[in-house]
Chains A and B, each alone.
Chain A
Amino acid sequence: MITASLIGLPLVFGLLLLFVKGEGAKRIALVASLLELALAGFAYFTLYNDPSSDLLATSVPWITSIGADFHVSIDGISILLVLLTSFLVPIIILSGFEKKTENPALFHALILFMQMALIGVFTSRDAFLFYIFWELALIPIWFICLIWGTGENRGTITFKFFVYTLFGSLLMLAALIFVYLHTDVGNGLHSFDILAMYKAGQSLDLTQQSFVFWGLFLAFAIKMPVFPFHTWQPDTYVSAPTQGTMLLSGIMLKMGTYGLLIWLLPMTPLALDRWGMTVVVLSVISIIYASCMALVQKDYKRLIAYSSIAHVGLIAAGILANTTSHISVEGISGALLQMLSHGINVVGLFFIADILMNRTGTRDLDKLGGIRNVSPQFAVLFLIVLLGSVALPLTNGFVGEFLLLNGVYQYNTTLAVFAGLTVILGAVYMLRSYQSIMLGESNAVTSSFGALTSNEKTILVLICAAVLIFGVFPKPLLSIAQQDIEILVKTIVPINP
């Protein structure tokens, strides 16, 4: 019931917004997203009190002829992504409060539609439904990037983004249908139910599983993205409006990592044993390669875009660095925690890039400098977000990163050493950019920077609070997921040797 409401609420408000005119739309959208946040909080406590509560699941027959149900539910794993989504959307909406937006009603309706689709992706327990939500999420963000984006060639860029991800989705669809055709729920009928899909996937032989594995992996790898499927990402992130970039990087890419965990791992365990090393190596290459690319960027937004690839690479590595003979619960827990932390931190960083752009008209590292002299408060808040993203202990980035490296280490020591380079490289590009933007003498571009507005302050304080609170108390997030991770692990390894 709660889960269905979480999907329905943004949809209803989104539709409502289509009939509203003017700036008031922003407020309605904010209220809707706050209601959604309250509902997500309620879901958390319901789950906390009774993990098997009926309130959390809704399952109604949908297209019975093909065995697809409208089956959504929240468990200890999906709750984290639901919380992430419903925490970030209000922040994303709020971040546009002081900016003039063309056609605000449509813009915010699209954000809410997107939220609906995202929650749907994270809670679907039916492969067909999952695919529908997956595709639904693409449409609003594509319009957001296309209509409200900046830059001359945003048409080409968003088209590439659209086609690229759609291409991935089609591979996923093919893989899902392939598995679907091997399900059997009696009388020769098939089902898209997630557990039936797991069972069918596991009954396939290695060649068939490999086909499924690569179909799904490519879809997810493009979404996150992982090297070498990442080239749509920096351009799209840069040309999208900031709120679009936040949606893409903060939440949408978690569709990929979540997909790896929930759909890929349990469905193709044999293929994971066979191809795991290949994809983990790709993820680790992502970390190092994207970090190196981040080192040489001059546009701060592009720099964060590359840093995001690096961070997501580690999450992917942590999820994929498992075999049927050894699954690291630590690594998977770390991946989940890091999905949250990365979402919060990257949204904070993109917001900072937006503040820089609004005030100085540039994001060029060479032109900025000395902002700390004029806005010490901004300097402190910026630093806290940055520390979260370089995973300093007692910030939200640390425990996740440690657990992820732990998982990769249990899989392969050498790869862990390479993945660990993120500890060094991350510090290099983050501190370098902080120095060029904030430290030194202020110049003509930055001397009139001024203090933060109360809106900007609110958002940054909220993000910084999340950075610190989840750094010191990550336990509520980790412990709620533990039981379901154990269950998932048992699904992946049906016969525990």
Chain B
Amino acid sequence: MIQLAWLVPLLPLLGFTIIGLAGRKLSKGLIGLIGSGTVLGAFLISLCIFFSLHEQTHTVQVFDWFAAGKLHVNFSFTIDPLSSLFLLIITGIGFLIHVYSTGYMHDDDGFHRFFAYLNLFVFFMLLLVMGSSYLLMFVGWEGVGLCSYLLIGFWFKNTSYNNAAKKAFIMNRVGDLGFLLGMLLIFVTFGSLDYSTVFSAAHDSAGSNKGVFEIIALLLFIGAMGKSAQLPLYTWLPDAMAGPTPVSALIHAATMVTAGIYMIARSSVIYVNAEIASEVVAVVGIATALFAATIGLFQNDIKKVLAYSTVSQLGLMFLGLGVGSYTGAVFHVTTHAFFKALLFLCAGSVIHAMSGEQDIRKMGGLKKFLPITHLTFLLGTLAISGLPPFSGFFSKDEILAHAYEHNKVLWMLGILVSMMTAFYMFRLYFLTFWGGFRGTQEQHHHLHESPKSMTIPLLILAALSVVGGGLGIPGEHHWLEHFLHPAFAYTQTFVHHITPDFTHELILMAIAVAGALAAIYVAWSIYVKNKMIPVDREEDMLKGQRVVYNKYYVDELYDAVIRKPLDVLSDLGYRFFELRGVDAIVNGFGTGVKWMGSGLRLLQNGNVGFYIFAMVISIILILLVNFI
């Protein structure tokens, strides 16, 4: 079965090819069928792989990609617990979102284009997690970046959407340069880019060249910052919400943005031996988590709130990686994929019902009209807020418990993030679904629950968000930890595994839950009891609030520090240096030669007397030079 793993990415690629080439001629039903069917096929194979894995690592060779000098790159796949878990997430959630999209995108002119891109995305994402070397990961890495670009700018007539797409691609490229340099250093150090060679060499040489490990880890992390939207490369993700909502759910919440976590988890043997870099990962992670959470407190666009919450949750996952809880981070990737995909799809359902409205100030009271969306959104909100027994509780708790072991301050900040998360998520929930309707008459008239193709995926994801925590119940029977054990085998040598004391952990949990409940109560009293609606006009905000509302002016800062100077300097360089400097020197040579030519030409004036005169003078000069 495992030898058939190459079929997993091939199916979506096939779907992309068919829809891409013939999409115009196919009916929407057929396109939806091909698009979703190929991903379902990939999911079923992934399931079979999952069950026949037996905690081993397999390599499936597809073909020889290229070889030059000492570098030999195979196009082959690594199938181990880590990649097979990601396969299930990508194809499983991917399938649900494809089904959802058949309903959500039904009336869009670009229906076939949408499914072609989506299938292409699944292909590249699968390549990213299945590749057996860093270079193949990079192939998937850049490929998903391309799909993200295409899908953010899906409605390409809109200039601001196009700008958002471009920004995402370029910012990701900044990170990719880090990834690229990290790979080069890996190659120079270990002589290969294959995981098996690199990791065993890294394992054996861990003590000797710490510095190199640190640099590799930091360079790779720059790549992760770009793809997973961490400080300072995060500003593209909120803008990426320009894409259709299923895209936000699949790419910008559940799968692509977690690629950075996958990369670091995959490279755990390097990070375990790079203490400074790990510390940096943890600090950047918690800082991003806090930063994004504060912005999330004041956003009024339903998708923007979710986007900042994604950035914030990704930050928590990096915190987990930084403090050595690789399993915890991957666990949170999994549960987050469930509930965040769910929340985005619910948001899509709401936007669908509201005829495109995304501003929560103009919603309210939707629970009557959208019962399924309301219920599933509530479950997702409970899961992300970290309340037991919902899935987010377990995964977040695991990260926080490890953070506590590592450094109490990190833990406290983590609790703060959880509280803010609970607050802004319930703020979002209350403002959207409770109270009275604040939209227009016409919107009110059109309010309706979404079709089955959209609500069934919601129900499945909601069920997963509720029970997903069962993958990793703390204590002896932590299934996920046992399952992932082989993938982190090299890492184990270097960690003195601390199983946090159970009673201790219970107290920590209690504090976290109490914090979240308090935050929810505050949200309830502001937005339900006192019926507060966020102010419309920026001028009415408090000064600090305005800074946060404007995302701390980070975009403006980048504009002023990078984009504008680059453009202005290039422009000045072009006008003055290129046209008047370099070229003028070249032309100067030309003019000089011409001028000399026209000067010398005058000497040949045809006057014999002048020639004889010149000859005599020359002879005298030569004689003088020779005799003196």
Contact = CB atoms under 8 A, between A and B. Distances in A.
Contacts of B177: 417, 420-421, 423-424
Interface stretch (A17-25, A88-96, A290-298): A290-298
B184 A416 contact: yes
B70 A292 contact: no
Identify the interface centre among B174, B566, B578: most chain A CB within 10 Å of its CB.
B578
Contact of A333 (B68, B174, B585): B68
Contact of A392 (B146, B170, B187): B146
A428 B139 CA distance: 20
A208 to B, nearest CB: 26
B478 to A, nearest CB: 37
A379 to B, nearest CB: 9
Interface in B62-98: 64-71
A329 B70 contact: yes
A386 to B, nearest CB: 11
Contacts of B143: 392-394
B184 A406 contact: yes
Interface stretch (A253-261, A276-284, A434-442, A448-456): A434-442
Contacts of A372: 156
Interface string A109-142: 0000000000000000000000000000000000
B280 to A, nearest CB: 19
A416 B219 CA distance: 14
Nearest to A489: B69
Contacts of B445: none
B590 interface: yes
Contacts of A317: none
A405 B184 contact: yes
Interface in A322-372: 328-330, 333-334, 337, 370, 372
B140 to A, nearest CB: 8
A478 B170 contact: no
A403 interface: yes
Given A393-B139, A417-B181, A431 B146 contact: no
A439 B66 CA distance: 36
B583 interface: yes
Interface in B173-208: 173-174, 176-177, 180-181, 184-185, 187-188
A164 B586 contact: yes
B135 interface: yes
Contacts of B567: 295-296
A231 interface: yes
A180 interface: no
Contacts of A13: none
A263 interface: no
Interface string A377-406: 000000000010000111000110011011
A441 B156 CA distance: 8
Nearest to A442: B157
B162 to A, nearest CB: 5
Interface string A157-195: 000100110000000000000000000000000000000
Contact of A428 (B146, B170, B582, B586): B170
A479 interface: yes
Contacts of B583: 231
A232 B585 CA distance: 12
Contacts of B162: 435, 439-440
A373 interface: yes
A268 to B, nearest CB: 22
Contacts of B142: 392-393
B578 A420 contact: no
A38 B583 CA distance: 43
Contact of A292 (B146, B569, B586): B569
6 contacts: A160-B590, A328-B69, A392-B146, A393-B138, A439-B162, A474-B65
A409 interface: yes
Nearest to B573: A292
B226 to A, nearest CB: 11
Contacts of A420: 177, 180-181
Q: Determine the main DSSP class of A at the interface with B.
A: helix
A296 B564 CA distance: 12
Main secondary structure of the interface of B (DSSP, over half): helix
Interface in A294-309: 295-297
Contacts of A409: 181, 184-185, 188
A393 B578 CA distance: 33
Contacts of B69: 328-330, 333
Contacts of A373: 157
A416 B185 CA distance: 11
Contacts of A482: 67-68
Nearest to B135: A402
A416 B181 contact: yes
Given A406-B184, A423-B173, A440-B156, A330 B573 contact: no
A410 B586 contact: no
Contact of A423 (B64, B180, B566, B573): B180
Contacts of B71: 330, 403, 406
B571 A296 contact: yes
B610 interface: no
B135 A330 contact: no
Interface string B123-167: 000000000000100110011001001000100111100110010
A405 B68 CA distance: 13
B570 interface: yes
Contacts of A160: 586-587, 590
A318 to B, nearest CB: 11
Interface centre among B70, B156, B163 (most CB of A within 10 A): B156
Contacts of A394: 139, 143
B574 interface: yes
Nearest to B167: A431
A432 interface: yes
Contacts of B158: 440
B578 A424 contact: no
B570 A478 contact: no
B570 A292 contact: yes
A403 B184 CA distance: 9
B176 A370 contact: no
Nearest to B571: A296
A494 interface: no
Nearest to A422: B177
Contacts of A28: none
Given A439-B153, A439-B162, 9 more contacts: A295-B566, A328-B69, A372-B156, A392-B146, A399-B65, A406-B71, A410-B188, A424-B170, A428-B170
Contacts of A392: 142-143, 146
Contacts of B50: none
A296 B68 contact: no
A403 B73 CA distance: 12
Contacts of A457: none
Contacts of A465: none
Contact of A475 (B65, B159, B566, B569): B65
Given A292-B566, A392-B146, A402 B573 contact: no
A231 B582 contact: yes
B169 interface: yes
